[in-house]
Each structure stands twice: as structure tokens, then as C-alpha cells.
């Protein structure tokens, strides 16, 4: 499982869904400014639903990525602790 690719994929999906919703909203504003009746409410609702689903997918990918980074940070701390423990037993340092 490649978390970086999953996160990029989810971000691109969210961006595309967000851009679609913004385009629909711009179309709505233009119709309303022209005094036309715009009866595309279900289209906005569907676009919002898709955008939220993509956002949830992005959040899930970010959480997985964050967990991997947290594991890496713990590994560094463990290595540092072992190095410190080893340095207590060896008081001579190379010049």
C-alpha cells in the first residue's frame, strides 16, 4: 500500500469534485443574475455529496499517511534512545 499515491489520488479527486461544484454554482449565479429561473437544485446536491465523499477519502488517506509518519518518528526516538544508552557505557569518543 503506497500512502503517498493514495493521498495524491484522493487530493486530485477532491479537487476535481470541488471544481465541478464551483462551476455549477457559477452557472447558477449567472442564471440568477440574468433573471432566469434555475431549477438545478438536485445537481448541486449531487455535486456536494460527491465532493464530501472525496473529502472523506482524502481525510482517510491523510490519516494513514500521518500514522506512517508517526511510526517513523517513533523509530527515530527509539534509535536515539539506544544511541544514548550505548554512549553511557562508552565514555571515550573518537576525535
pLDDT of residue 72: 57
From the list 66, 67, 58, the residue with the least C-alpha distance to 10 is 58
Compute mean pLDDT per 10 residues along the chain, 95 residues long, and list them: 79 94 92 83 92 93 76 54 53 51
Please say whether the beta carbons of 11 and 58 come within 8 A: yes
Confidence at residue 24, expressed as pLDDT on a 0 to 100 scale: 93
pLDDT at 48: 95
Classify 92 as helix, strand or coil. Answer: coil
In the chain, where the domains are located? 3-89
Alpha-helical segments (H) within 1-95: 3-33, 41-89
pLDDT at 65: 77
What is the pLDDT, as a whole number, of residue 26? Answer: 92
Amino acid at each position: 500500500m503506497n500512502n503517498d499515491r493514495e493521498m495524491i489520488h484522493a487530493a486530485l479527486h477532491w479537487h476535481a469534485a470541488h471544481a465541478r461544484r464551483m462551476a455549477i454554482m457559477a452557472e447558477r449565479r449567472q442564471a440568477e443574475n440574468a433573471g432566469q429561473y434555475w431549477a438545478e437544485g438536485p445537481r448541486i446536491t449531487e455535486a456536494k455529496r460527491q465532493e464530501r465523499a472525496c473529502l472523506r477519502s482524502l481525510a482517510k488517506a491523510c490519516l494513514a499517511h500521518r500514522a506512517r509518519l508517526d511510526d517513523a518518528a517513533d523509530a527515530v526516538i527509539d534509535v536515539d534512545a539506544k544511541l544514548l544508552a550505548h554512549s553511557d557505557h562508552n565514555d571515550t569518543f573518537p576525535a
